[in-house]
Structure 1
Amino acid sequence: MKANRFNMLMLAVTMLLTFVLAACGNSASNSENNSKNGDNSSTAGNSTEATASAEAGDKKPVKVVWWHSMGGELGTAVKQLVDEFNASHPDIQVEEVFQGTYDESLNKMKASMDADSGPSLIQVYEIGSRFMIDSKAVTPVQNFIDADNYDISSLEENILGYYKFDNQLYSMPFNTSNPVLYFNKDMFKAAGLNPDQPPKTFEDVAKAAKALTKDGKTGASFAIYGWFMEQLFANQGKEYVNNGNGRTAPATESLLNTDAGINTVNWLKEMLDSKTALNLGRKTDDTKKAFLAGQIGMTLDSTGSLRGIVDGAKGKFEVGTAFLPKPVGLTDGGVVVGGASLWILNNKPEEEQKAAWEFIKYLAEPKTQAVWHINSGYFPINKKAYDEQNVKDNLAKYPQFQTAIDQLHSTKLTPATQGAVMGVFPEARQTVEDAMEQAFTGTKDTQKALDDAAKAITEKIQTYNKTVQ
């Protein structure tokens, strides 16, 4: 790829991308890794074998620099995985480097390309996938899969599906989640609702919210989060952008203002207007706090938050989980995976790229995935991880996670559930959140708010597409 072309792309996309709330990893935790070069000593002698042995001992391990956005406890879990890999692979040494939020990390990658000071491997959130492909800066992992004849049959098809384009797997999933409905079982019982039959439809949720709103408590609160809108489109079996959700050809138009968007916003607005739901803004941290304080009976949140929510409610109330709701009468649809995947940069030597691939394979192993799942709360991407005893024990401790597993496995992979892709997704997500706020506060009616947002997103998509043609 020519530098001039890349620079033009970087400039254009940087102008379009804006910071969005990162799914996870807000605290910095940079770690240093132990580099084990092995024992370089050798016995004296003039034999060819002794000379070869000494040369092998002197050979430095291949260094792989991995940029990630896992801070706090997740950063500690990442360091554990890296340390274990380095201990068992003396010929490769991975250096994990925390780079802030997903947006911050991606912007740093762009700035590093010409200077060749960037990483060998980078974790990028799912909505950055279209940009990563268009950047021409990556080697698809499919190349390594084919060269190794690597078996991916044990990996989750619905997770791989998001990161496949033209039947090519461009990156390897790492941290994966989807949203579920969390509800307070104790509040359900007190309101005369059956906690063993949680709401399944938009209408069920509205009825439950009305019953739960009493004694100073409110039925629900759902963060104004673009990710939820994307998920609720998919759960209705509807595409978010045209051209097969941007997968049969690059998207050129937003479908935000179609029936799926109108139905979703009106459903939420009606609960807010009737005061059976609270508008707590855009941060899921705020709805989570209200839920754990017993102020609201239901909320939407990521499966990656499940362990923290269940532990936070311990001794106060029992947490229930249910599938993402959909309008009554719909049977199609399902959830889109969220989270991030690992991309190998193509401006590094072949040896370094191969070493990064070895690390990726290690991360995908059942035992590694079991440890990552337990320490992070994210899905294992390898189905065989569920056979590990530590995962079985964890599921017994957190049975609510079975809901997330069942929801993932019950999702039929279609363009809608595979997930939308567009080069301006971060900015589009903020535009959607603006429109939702306008509709909820009455600044604009629902149709007008979504029409304006769809038009703005469409214009941004088309501008972006011109930069990569």
Structure 2
Amino acid sequence: MRLPRFLALAPLAWLLAASPATAVTEIHWWHAMPGELGREVERIAGDFNLSQSEYKVIPTYKGLYTETMTAAMFALRSKQHPAILQSAEVSTATMMAAKGVVYPVHLLMRAQGMDFSPSTFLPAIAAYYADTSGNMLSFPFNASTPILYYNKDQFRLAGLDPDKAPATWPEVEAAARKLLERKIPCGVTTGWPSWVNVENFSAFHNLPIATLDNGLGGPGARLQFNNVAVTGHLSALVEWQKSRLFDYSGRTNDAERRFYGSECGILISSSAARADIIANAKFEIGYGMLPYWPNVTGAPQNSIIGGGSLWVLHGRPDAEYRGVARFFAFLSRPDVQAHWHQWTGYMPVTQAAYEHTKALGFYDRNPGTDISIRQLTLNPPTANSKGLRLGSYVVIRDIIQEEIEDALAGRKSAKTALDEAVRRGNEILSQFEKAN
């Protein structure tokens, strides 16, 4: 039986009506978030993709920060680079100096007619990613700061108060001794050794990392963290290493696995480790602020941020930039930021996200989850505790960690190791300035 012509054409008309007028614009986002954090990145991108039909953000894990940046630099040569690159906070000076590579976020958002003001972000975070005129160069995404975690079950076993985190380094030492007495293999360990034991240690004790406000005051800064307090701290770690009161866990986040595996009773690492720790720990977790040495005048001051931000790279089609601006506006929403903060342990980068989280009663229901914010805002930041902006600091950080390892292994004294770290690091700063 032959159908009338208008009925025969009906399926074709329906298909044409249902097809989009234009193809979806893909926006590639290279990131450095492994594990649970990577799954949360995929969820955020998926939520944005479902919120509209014009753009599709495609997140791709490229390794940790150094690997991700290296991959992007190689991709730029063949113009196969992503529109969005996640980069570590200490790479800010390097990204700023990469002429013709970066599309500053404040210019992108203005060109796309999007509201974007530094005043909406927490001041300590906005200042880190802005130029000297206050213009935001990248989008603050995953801001963290190191905090103290402890195993409450092991504290109970050792006769320690499970509801009281050690507040000073002498208290950490005393707790670690009691843990070892109860056959816990390791008392305390730290992740990210330079970030925790040099950079944040210095800020929390109101000590300079480098001249010129740690480089935030402009080019020409030189490292100067080889002082009595940092030397004394490293000397203590060297001595504790002998009995595993302190036990070194490498340059990245292996310390976190040792903690949630119940090998170490105390951990000092990123506030953003919370998601992985909660997902894997089989014990009750306690939280505390960074410990400090009470004999250092000015401590405790405030910690500084770590983590990273999202940089927009030049050389992508205009359609992608329209989508990037839409995506950043989505990321700025208080509910989106609040969920990211609550689930991961990263800080809410906007004041509205913090207030939204507080209004929901999240901090009341989850004691300790606001420690990172209270610690970062413990006191008004000084020239020593605003952060740092030093060229090629990823390379310098490796130098610092190499020298720390030499001290912990007994190959050098703490003083010699820190002196060498400063000397070698300043050579890298000089080379960076000559090249830029």
**Fold match (TM-score > 0.5):** yes
- Amino acid paired to 1:321: Y
Aligned to 1:71: 34
Aligned to 1:138: 102
**Within the alignment, does 1:430 sit opposite 2:393 as a pair?**
no
Aligned to 1:266: 235
Contact map agreement 2:158 2:182 (CA 8 A) in 1: no
**TM-score scaled by length of structure 2:** 0.85
Contact map agreement 1:239 1:420 (CA 8 A) in 2: no
Q: Describe the SS at the equivalent of 1:159.
A: helix
Aligned to 2:183: 216
Aligned to 1:165: 131
List alignment gaps of at least 5 residues for structure 1: 1-38, 44-53
Matches within 5 A, 1:9-158: 41=16, 58-136=21-99, 137-144=101-108, 148-158=114-124
Shift of 1:467: 0.7
- Amino acid paired to 2:216: R
- The one of 149, 161, 167 equivalent to 1:182 is 149
Separation of aligned partners in 2, 1:255 and 1:188 = 37
**Within the alignment, does 1:326 sit opposite 2:286 as a pair?**
no
Separation of aligned partners in 1, 2:254 and 2:312 = 35
**Within the alignment, does 1:198 sit opposite 2:189 as a pair?**
no
Shift of 1:84: 2.2
Separation of aligned partners in 1, 2:153 and 2:45 = 41
**Within the alignment, does 1:452 sit opposite 2:420 as a pair?**
yes
Cα distance change on mapping 1:199 and 1:428 into 2, 3 Å: same
List alignment gaps of at least 5 residues for structure 2: 1-13
Q: Deviations over 1:284-327 (max 9, x none)?
A: 6543344334443322121111233245334x4x3211111122
Cα distance change on mapping 1:125 and 1:458 into 2, 3 Å: same
Q: Describe the SS at the equivalent of 1:139.
A: coil
- Amino acid paired to 1:81: I
Deviation larger for 362-371 or 196-205: 196-205
Separation of aligned partners in 1, 2:306 and 2:262 = 27
Shift of 1:391: 8.9
Cα distance change on mapping 1:106 and 1:295 into 2, 3 Å: closer
Q: Describe the SS at the equivalent of 1:194.
A: coil
Deviation larger for 91-100 or 458-467: 91-100
Aligned residues: 415
Aligned to 1:461: 429
- Amino acid paired to 1:323: M
Q: Describe the SS at the equivalent of 2:140.
A: strand
Contact map agreement 1:122 1:343 (CA 8 A) in 2: yes
**Within the alignment, does 1:232 sit opposite 2:201 as a pair?**
yes
Deviation larger for 232-241 or 258-267: 258-267
Cα distance change on mapping 1:114 and 1:311 into 2, 3 Å: closer
Q: Deviations over 1:413-440 (max 9, x none)?
A: 3343332222221221111111112222
Deviation larger for 215-224 or 295-304: 215-224
**Within the alignment, does 1:371 sit opposite 2:339 as a pair?**
yes
Separation of aligned partners in 2, 1:458 and 1:389 = 42
Aligned to 2:3: none
Contact map agreement 2:108 2:321 (CA 8 A) in 1: no
- Amino acid paired to 1:121: I
Aligned to 1:47: none
- Amino acid paired to 1:244: D
- Amino acid paired to 1:213: L
Contact map agreement 1:171 1:342 (CA 8 A) in 2: yes
Cα distance change on mapping 1:215 and 1:150 into 2, 3 Å: closer
Q: Percent identity?
A: 27
Matches within 5 A, 1:237-386: 237-273=206-242, 275=243, 277-282=245-250, 285-314=253-282, 316=283, 318-328=284-294, 329-331=297-299, 333-386=301-354
- Amino acid paired to 2:231: I
Contact map agreement 1:252 1:462 (CA 8 A) in 2: no
**Within the alignment, does 1:400 sit opposite 2:364 as a pair?**
no
- Amino acid paired to 1:248: G
Aligned to 2:10: none
Cα distance change on mapping 1:375 and 1:391 into 2, 3 Å: farther
Contact map agreement 1:202 1:267 (CA 8 A) in 2: no
Contact map agreement 2:139 2:309 (CA 8 A) in 1: yes
Separation of aligned partners in 1, 2:58 and 2:261 = 40
Cα distance change on mapping 1:256 and 1:409 into 2, 3 Å: closer
Contact map agreement 1:69 1:98 (CA 8 A) in 2: yes
Deviation larger for 304-313 or 101-110: 304-313
Q: Deviations over 1:63-99 (max 9, x none)?
A: 4222222334333322222222223232333233332
Cα distance change on mapping 1:349 and 1:395 into 2, 3 Å: same
Aligned to 1:24: none
Cα distance change on mapping 1:86 and 1:419 into 2, 3 Å: same
Cα distance change on mapping 1:226 and 1:251 into 2, 3 Å: farther
- Amino acid paired to 2:44: L
Shift of 1:393: 6.6
